[in-house]
Structure 1
Amino acid sequence: MSGEGNEPQAIRKLQPGKLVIASHNPGKVREIAALLAGHGLEVVSAAELDLPEPEETGTTFVMNAELKAQAAADLSGLPALADDSGICVDALNGEPGIFSARWAGETKDFGEAMRRVHARVSEIEDAPRDAHFVCALALAWPDGHVEWFEGRVDGTLVWPPRGTKGFGYDPMFLPDGHDLTFGEMDEEAKHAISHRADAFRQMVAAIF
């Protein structure tokens, strides 16, 4: 189900209790747990439950988020929330996009991933530095029901990367209208404007 529009309508509400965060990325789990605080949920990560990471075979952020959420819900018997997110660079025709994590390689070296993005953009004469982050959230129940929501934040790329906060490509992303990169922002400031926060606002309005 889409979170489009100002007042997304979910078919199913999420009841207080255990919720699996279908991610093995500790930074992402921490950020999602913070965004869910105060809603009566006992958050547990897929890593804590020793759930395997499914292969992300979808062709969109939403498809990959649904795939991960449904896999975790099936294996745990609990509602599961998955996020698929990435950075889309205009000069690279939207890459790395859904392959953002894969650009970091098996060792999840996002320093190298950022260097790859910078190198690719630098090869293009007068390339624009416009980019945006996308976050798709999928909430799945063990019976197969899924709700999904998608958020976005626009900005520009900076080089060299700035800041040690956040995770992933945060240090090279300067959100529009701000002087600090996501890598320099305090968690609270980032949560106020991020793509993940945008998707969460839609989800919270719909499911609680």
Structure 2
Amino acid sequence: MVNKMHDLLQLFNQDFVHIHQTSKGKFSIIEKKDGGKGVCDFQSENDVLIIKAKDQNTPLWSLKSKKCAEGAFVVLDKNHQSLSLHIIEMKSKLTYDEFEKVIQQLQGMYLMAFCVISILKLNIPKNIITYVTYKNETVQNKINQDLKRIPKKSIGIKDPVLESWETEKIKLSHNNTAKLIKGIRIDDGNGNFNCDFGMV
């Protein structure tokens, strides 16, 4: 199974889809755009399949939405079958409107990852985790303001964007729901704003 997957990996441009071996230590998803430069670092006890977008556009030309998150990775077991799918989007200031776009970007990368997984003939991971990082956010402020305006007897988050933020769950296609992990980006002193999520 491992050798077969490595043969199929040759179908991909290694700049965008490749295996990171656990023996090499940390791995990163990188944001290169000015104003938002930085990295998200991760570690795993297993090999991971890394999937990166090109210019935040999904290569799935037939999809209506062309939005796509920066990157994703699949944690693999010793037989190189899928254990979990992780999808990452990095922002500077995260507003309500930006978070709405983030959800679409996470959905785009989710679909792209499923295509890569299918081409490599891997099993579909049941555990899906999404990450959004930011320097600061105002989404919570909007929730607080909305709650003040709504009569107490009818309080309840009905806006799907705000519901995703509050419940820390992202609804995806195929009736899948992903856990949402939020991370604050820290200035490294060189103009990069980074986030280290540690072991996954």
- Please say whether Structure 1 and Structure 2 have the same fold, judged by a TM-score greater than 0.5: no
Q: Normalising to structure 1: TM-score of the pair?
A: 0.31
Whose helix fraction is larger, Structure 1's or Structure 2's?
1
Q: Normalising to structure 2: TM-score of the pair?
A: 0.32
Q: Which is greater in Rg? A: 2
Whose strand fraction is larger, Structure 1's or Structure 2's?
2
